[in-house]
Every structure is written in C-alpha cells, then in structure tokens.
Amino acid sequence: MRDFPSIISTDSLARTDAVPKTAANTASKAPAATKANATAKAKTAAKAPAATKANATAKAKTAAKANAALTKVNWYPVRVLFGKINLVKRTLDEADVEYFYPTHIIEKNMKYIEEPLVRSLIFIKTTPTGLREIKMRYSSSLIPYYDHSREDGTKPPVTVPEAQMEMFIRLCRMKEAGLEYLGEDEPKYHLGDRVRVTDGIFKGFEGHIKRIRHDRKLIVTIEGVAAFATRFIPPSMLERVE
C-alpha cells in the first residue's frame, strides 16, 4: 500500500502536544488555589470570634473599673457655706458617714480650748455617689473642691490620700502645734526646697519653709485646698526631700 506524505509538520505536533500540558497545569493549580482561599477564610473566621471576645473582655474591664471608681471611698474636702456646718455634721452623724472638721487647740485665759481651724471646711469620707447625694441635699450650701489641673479637660472632685489625711488629723490634734490657717493653697506656698522634719513633735511631717512674722515655719498644704503653718522649727531639725 502506498504511503501518503504527511501534511502535519513536526512543529505543529509539538504545539498540539503543548496545549494539553498547559491545560493540565492550570487545572492542577486551581484546586490548590481554592484550598488556599478556603484556608485563609477559615483563619479569618477563626480570628473573628477571638476579636469579638477580646472586645468584650476590654468592655468588661472598663465597666468594672468604672464601677470600682464609683464605690471607692475617698476623703473629699468640701466648703460649707451660710453657717450650715453644724447641720451638715448632724446629717453625717445620723447617716454614720465619717468626716473630719478641722479644729485646733489654743490657749485662752489660762485654759486650752478647741476652736474651728477653718469654719467653712470639712472633709467627708464617702464614695462619689455618696458625695453627690450629700451635695444634692444641701444644694448651693455645700461645694466640693474641684481639680482644675487635669489635661483631659475633666474637673473631678479633689480627693486627699488616706496617709496625708492621717498626718493632717494628727497635726490638728497637737496642742503644741500652734497651727495657723493661711488661706487657700497657692503656688507661693510651694516655693523652695521641700523639707522633712527629722526630730521633735513634727517628726515625719513634710512641707516648705516660709518666714512668717520673722519665724521660720513649716507650711503644710492640702494640695488645691488649703495651707497651714506650724510654729517655729529649728533648721537643725530639717532635711531636704530629694
């Protein structure tokens, strides 16, 4: 039998063979890409509950912190106007709320007597909610001191740390202290080095030294509230606080 000449060139055969190979490669890559996409989606789906849980945890912590702040007991310095200090004290006594009304012991007619140190100032130990309730009861007659130094623009009521309050109460109860009310706290009472008393009845107290009526006196302040002066303290009993 006679052979017919081939009409298909070798190049054509090569190209024809190449087409199925390319298609096969593409087909083999498709499942891998699909699998990779599925894996990525699964990871994203797995992260979503974790992110939701993290957000919920953060919100819970914020809420807990806010609740803790509302129930925390603090010392609040408060002004009491219009001569209602005795009425406020009676109300606090009836409600069993702790407070401190600063007085000092002075000598008069050969006797030691107790007098108000600042007639319109009282320190109330309560929660923020309790302070708000007391303030609402007495309206404009009772005004807390507010902190105007906050950078965030808020002005919360001033609070006095427990340790500082204990020292102040102790100072007020010393009949030898010669304690004197100078007025509301001002920058001038914080000038110079801060010192600590190392000996004597004022041992442990800190403040600044200011010359008042030719005597060097220790200035003790309730920051943002009031400044008080003790009697003369010898320089040998003072050390600088670093």
The predicted structure's pLDDT at residue 215:
87
Angle between helices 128-138 and 10-71 (to 10 degrees): 50
- Domain count across the chain: 2
Show which of 116, 139, 174 is a domain's final residue.
Answer: 174
Mean pLDDT of 157-174: 94
How many CA atoms lie less than 13 Å away from 198 in the CB half-sphere?
Answer: 9
The predicted structure's pLDDT at residue 70:
76
Distance CA 119, CA 209 (A): 25
* Confidence check: pLDDT of 53 > 60: yes
Show which of 174, 189, 223 is a domain's final residue.
Answer: 174
Residue 24 lies in a domain: no
Q: What is the pTM of this model?
A: 0.71
Residue 49 lies in a domain: no
Show which of 126, 154, 174 is a domain's final residue.
Answer: 174
Residue 38 lies in a domain: no
Same domain, 170 and 191: no
Same domain, 137 and 189: no
Residue 78 lies in a domain: yes
Environment class of 168 (CB within 10 Å of its CB; exposed 0-12, middle 13-18, buried 19+): buried
* Confidence check: pLDDT of 27 > 70: no
Closest CA to 97 of 61, 63, 122, 62: 122
Closest CA to 124 of 67, 167, 75: 75
SS3 letters across 119-163: CCEEEEEECHHHHHHHHHHHHHHEEECECCCCCCCCCCECCECHH
DSSP-assigned beta bridge partners for residue 116:
103
The predicted structure's pLDDT at residue 139:
81
* Confidence check: pLDDT of 117 > 90: yes
Q: Residue 187: give the domain boundaries.
A: 176-242
Same domain, 130 and 229: no
- Tokens, residue 70: 């509302």
Of residues 211 and 78, which shows the higher confidence score?
78
Report the CATH number that the domain containing residue 163 is assigned in CATH: 3.30.70.940
Same domain, 108 and 118: yes
* Confidence check: pLDDT of 35 > 90: no
Same domain, 106 and 167: yes
* H or E stretch at 215: strand 215-222
Residue 112 lies in a domain: yes
Same domain, 170 and 180: no
Residue 233 lies in a domain: yes
